[in-house]
């Protein structure tokens, strides 16, 4: 089988322990606290087919699988995305997550150290080359997360190959290098190749290796009852028609969504307006990915929208705010984006005394609620002895503004406000922003 974290991986993990790279003790029932009953913490490794951007939104096989599980098990699922394979391997042992969605073969790892789920899908290693290349002796680069030795006997036509293990290069990086002909051939998982080939028409799968990998989650062994629940759900769900549709959606060479994604994403990274967003964000010293996240939240990059209160356009600015920046619903997309970026930059300057960690939360909140309601939440924080520079405290009092006790307080200038909507708005923007950053789309 292509690679997989074998006994060498276990030795590496134990070496990390000895060197202090991991916690002093591996997680176990004593050292690792169980997950909250209603919340599952998930670490998802960024795979091309498991997690990607389509028209500004995040989709993907495992990403959607977790959301289906969230609804059917009635448990909140908090997904953290990681694009560093070494960091994912670290979290096999850290006990920080209930699920680590990072491929390896559990038969090659000591099962009394790691606990794996029922398989959620299968894949196999494939060899990818340039479309016009002939099969011959060459260097073959192995993409992360293949962390140990490839079964070279699986390559029927490549007895004389030199296998190069690029442990810090994902399939996405190697595909780009192969397309530029900087390297000759790569080995990666079939599901990754299937997704990426849609974006690289000059590449092809030269050989599909016979070995099949059952893709599983690494589970926190502390959560025995929870793990039984997860395994039972996977065993049942993988027999359903909904599961078959999910596989056809992301893991089939006939996938319509992969075809559509390749047709649109070739033109831009996140939206049709990336170049414009980058230009004005750079001009006003804002991260363009944050601006893109706000824009997606406001309009999903759709022009001509009119919202509650007359908000308009790609940035859904209110008419009075639009007047300040010289735009209205008839202005061009570029003018609307320029105005939105200027407004975000002004809010950033207004709250410049906040730490970088908290600042963008406050900016996003003020963009949605208006500075007046944000200021009311600040004043309530001060009154009740809480730090107003901490967004979580501000969020609490924004939500409280829907209650008469707080809305009618003499220090509140703008009165009643349904703050829960703004809190959700900020949460969604910041989660999407972190996801955009993880995609390394700069």
pLDDT tens figures, 13-40: 444 443 344 433 333 333 344 444 689 9
Domain boundaries, the chain: 7-120+217-250, 123-214, 274-438
Separation between Cα atoms, residue 66 and residue 437, nearest integer Å: 21
In the CATH scheme, what is the code of domain 123-214?
A: 3.40.190.10
**pLDDT tens profile 402-414:** 999 999 999 999 9
Residue 267 predicted with pLDDT over 60:
no
Separation between Cα atoms, residue 378 and residue 394, nearest integer Å: 6
Fold classification of 7-120+217-250 (topology level):
D-Maltodextrin-Binding Protein; domain 2 (3.40.190)
User: Lowest-confidence range among 116-120, 130-134, 242-246, 318-322?
Assistant: 130-134
Task: Please tell me the predicted confidence (pLDDT) of residue 242.
Answer: 95
Separation between Cα atoms, residue 351 and residue 344, nearest integer Å: 11
Task: Please tell me the predicted confidence (pLDDT) of residue 132.
Answer: 81
Domains 7-120+217-250 and 274-438 alike in fold: no
Residue 68 predicted with pLDDT over 60:
yes
Of residues 245 and 54, more confidently modeled: 245
Of residues 276 and 134, more confidently modeled: 276
User: Crossing angle for the helix pair 356-369 and 420-438, nearest 10 degrees?
Assistant: 130
Task: Please tell me the predicted confidence (pLDDT) of residue 430.
Answer: 94
User: Lowest-confidence range among 103-107, 123-127, 176-180, 336-340?
Assistant: 103-107
User: Lowest-confidence range among 166-170, 236-240, 399-403?
Assistant: 166-170
Task: Please tell me the predicted confidence (pLDDT) of residue 4.
Answer: 39
Is domain 274-438 given the CATH code 1.10.530.10 in the classification? yes
For residue 67, which of 42, 97, 45, 35 has the smallest C-alpha distance?
42
Residue 210 predicted with pLDDT over 70:
no
Mean pLDDT over each residue of the chain, to the nearest integer: 82
3-state secondary structure of 140: strand
Task: Please tell me the predicted confidence (pLDDT) of residue 11.
Answer: 46
Separation between Cα atoms, residue 393 and residue 260, nearest integer Å: 42
Residue 176 predicted with pLDDT over 80:
yes
What is the DSSP code (8-state) at residue 127?
E
């Amino acid at each position: 089988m292509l690679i997989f974290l074998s006994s060498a991986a276990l030795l590496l993990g134990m070496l990390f322990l000895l060197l202090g790279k991991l916690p002093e003790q591996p997680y176990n029932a004593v050292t690792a606290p169980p997950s909250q009953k209603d919340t599952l913490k998930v670490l998802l490794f960024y795979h091309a087919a498991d997690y990607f951007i389509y028209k500004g939104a995040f989709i993907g096989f495992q990403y959607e699988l977790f959301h289906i599980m969230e609804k059917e098990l009635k448990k909140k699922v908090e997904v953290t995305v990681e694009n560093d394979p070494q960091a994912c391997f670290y979290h096999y042992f850290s006990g920080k997550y209930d699920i680590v969605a990072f491929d390896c073969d559990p038969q090659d790892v000591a099962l009394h150290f790691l606990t794996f789920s029922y398989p959620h899908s299968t894949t196999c290693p494939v060899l990818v080359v340039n479309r016009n290349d002939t099969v011959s002796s060459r260097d073959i680069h192995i993409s992360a997360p293949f962390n140990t030795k490839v079964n070279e006997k699986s390559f029927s036509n490549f007895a004389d190959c030199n296998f190069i293990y690029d442990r810090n290069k994902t399939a996405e990086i190697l595909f780009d290098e192969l397309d530029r002909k900087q390297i000759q051939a790569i080995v990666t998982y079939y599901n990754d190749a299937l997704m990426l080939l849609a974006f690289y028409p000059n590449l092809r799968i030269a050989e599909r290796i016979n070995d099949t990998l059952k893709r599983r989650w690494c589970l926190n062994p502390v959560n025995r009852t929870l793990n039984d629940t997860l395994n039972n759900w996977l065993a049942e769900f993988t027999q359903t028609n909904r599961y078959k549709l999910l596989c056809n959606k992301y893991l089939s060479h006939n996938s319509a969504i992969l075809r559509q994604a390749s047709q649109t994403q070739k033109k831009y990274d996140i939206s049709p307006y990336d170049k414009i967003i980058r230009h004005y964000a750079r001009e006003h010293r804002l991260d363009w990915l944050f601006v893109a996240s706000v824009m997606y939240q406001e309009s999903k990059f759709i022009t001509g929208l009119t919202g509650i209160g007359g908000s308009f356009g790609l940035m859904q600015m209110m008419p009075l705010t639009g007047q300040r920046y010289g735009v209205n619903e008839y202005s061009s997309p570029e003018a609307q984006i320029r105005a939105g970026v200027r407004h975000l930059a002004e809010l950033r300057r207004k709250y410049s005394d906040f730490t970088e960690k908290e600042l963008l939360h406050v900016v996003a909140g003020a963009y949605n609620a208006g500075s007046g309601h944000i200021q009311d939440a600040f004043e309530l924080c001060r009154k009740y002895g809480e730090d107003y520079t901490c967004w979580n405290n501000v969020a609490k009092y924004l939500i409280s503004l829907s209650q008469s006790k707080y809305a009618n307080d003499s220090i509140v200038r703008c009165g009643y406000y349904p703050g829960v909507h703004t809190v959700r708005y900020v949460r969604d923007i910041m989660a999407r922003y972190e996801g955009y950053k993880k995609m390394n789309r700069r």
